Structure 1
């Protein structure tokens, strides 16, 4: 049985939120390296999906290890898209005769629904659901001080010998 209560946020997300509680942020997880990439073996639709997801999230949220979950999400989306196109065909038959000779729902319907469930599950893990996005806050930009620029760019005081 897992821990009780809501799942703890990732340390990176706590840092992006600006740590409003001022409690120390413990990064007890192993930090993954690299940047998520788009595997070449995926179809074009899945590759495009990964690119959209990567561009839609703040930098350094996904690492190279996340590529595999992103790939599974993207493939589920590509198969879901294919099923959607098949269902949208004007000649689509909602009820078909199966191998035993009885009527059953078209297999594209089961495919569409199963891929939607996979996308919902993986999307939650990737932080792609609306609640995860609502909880994600980027730090506010610091207002510019009227004293900015009085001291040199590198932090040293201006030369008095000039």
Structure 2
């Protein structure tokens, strides 16, 4: 029998959220390091999305350990974009131009599958609006006259 309940959130996400459940922090959790860099093998659209994401997330949120998931997300986004552009070029979503031999165009399925992949990976990477809504980024506290004594 597998583990029950939702998967635990990574400690870094719990800390960013302010640890709302007040669960003990796992200080022994492995912490990946190293900034992820955009791989050369990505398509041009995927590279553009990679750069947009990396510029918009806090430093250290996506590391080298997350690079594979981000690569897959960006390629799924590029596939979704290409399928959407082809559908838009047909100018008739429900008309004959998207029907082939009386069946819907494969572009509709390709776009749907890419959207599902994006939704799944966005949640794992903390990119979805629902995941971001719980995050609270720390703000620097004002220095007091005793702040230098506390480490």
- TM tier relative to shorter chain: 0.7 to 0.9
- 3-state SS, counterpart of residue 100 of structure 2: strand
CA-based RMSD? 2.5
CA distance in structure 1 between the aligned counterparts of 2:19 and 2:109, rounded to whole angstroms:
44
Contact 2:47 2:74 in 1 (8 A): yes
Q: Residues 1-162 of structure 1 correspond to what in structure 2 (within 5 A)?
A: 1-19=1-19, 24-90=24-90, 93-97=97-101, 103-145=102-144, 147=145
Q: CA deviation at 1:139?
A: 1.7
Q: Which has the higher contact order (CA 8 A, sep 6+)?
A: 2
Contact 1:17 1:139 in 2 (8 A): no
CA distance in structure 2 between the aligned counterparts of 1:82 and 1:110, rounded to whole angstroms:
13
1:49-104: per-residue Cα shift (whole Å, max 9, x none)? Answer: 1111122222111111211111111000001000000000145612112xxxxx21
Unaligned runs of 5+ in 1: 98-102, 157-162
Write 1 or 2 for the structure with the bigger share of helix: 2
User: TM-score if structure 2 supplies the norm length?
Assistant: 0.82
CA distance in structure 2 between the aligned counterparts of 1:114 and 1:22, rounded to whole angstroms:
37
Q: CA deviation at 1:35?
A: 1.0
CA distance in structure 1 between the aligned counterparts of 2:17 and 2:116, rounded to whole angstroms:
29
Contact 2:73 2:121 in 1 (8 A): yes
Give the ranges of 4+ consecutive aligned residues of structure 1 lying more than 6 Å apart after TM superposition.
none
Q: CA deviation at 1:144?
A: 4.7
Aligned residues: 145
User: TM-score if structure 1 supplies the norm length?
Assistant: 0.77
- 3-state SS, counterpart of residue 36 of structure 1: coil
Computing the radius of gyration from Cα coordinates, the structure with the larger value is 1
